[in-house]
């Protein structure tokens, strides 16, 4: 599933004891190497993230709004 602007992205850690990261997708860029997301993480910083297969869960905006 490809995320869209406004969706939430949840990334599980691959290391034991490292917390899950969650953020809001601000921009979606598709290129030769796949999809990249500009994300505002829950701690406030913004970065570009390119998930590997199965490393991220996209929560569509409508579901994200119901969770809050």
Residues 38-58 pLDDT 10s: 999 999 999 999 987 777 899
pLDDT surpassing 70 at residue 2: yes
Distance from the Cα of residue 35 to its chain's centroid: 11
Predicted confidence band of residue 22 (pLDDT cuts 50, 70, 90): very high
Instruction: Flag whether pLDDT at 63 surpasses 60.
Output: no
Burial category of 3 from C-beta neighbours within 10 Å (exposed 0-12, middle 13-18, buried 19 and up):
buried
3-state secondary structure 1-68: CCCCCCCEEEECCCCCCCCCEEEEEEEEEEECCEEEEEEEECCCCEEEECCCCCCEEEECHHHHHHHC
- Binning pLDDT at 50, 70 and 90, where does residue 67 land? low
CA distance 29 to 15: 27
């Amino acid at each position: 599933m490809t995320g869209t602007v406004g969706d939430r992205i949840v990334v599980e850690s691959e290391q034991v004891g490292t917390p899950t990261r969650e953020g809001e997708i601000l921009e979606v860029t598709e290129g030769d190497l796949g999809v990249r997301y500009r994300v505002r993480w829950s701690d406030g910083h913004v970065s570009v993230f390119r998930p590997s297969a199965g490393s991220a869960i996209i929560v569509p905006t409508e579901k994200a709004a119901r969770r809050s």
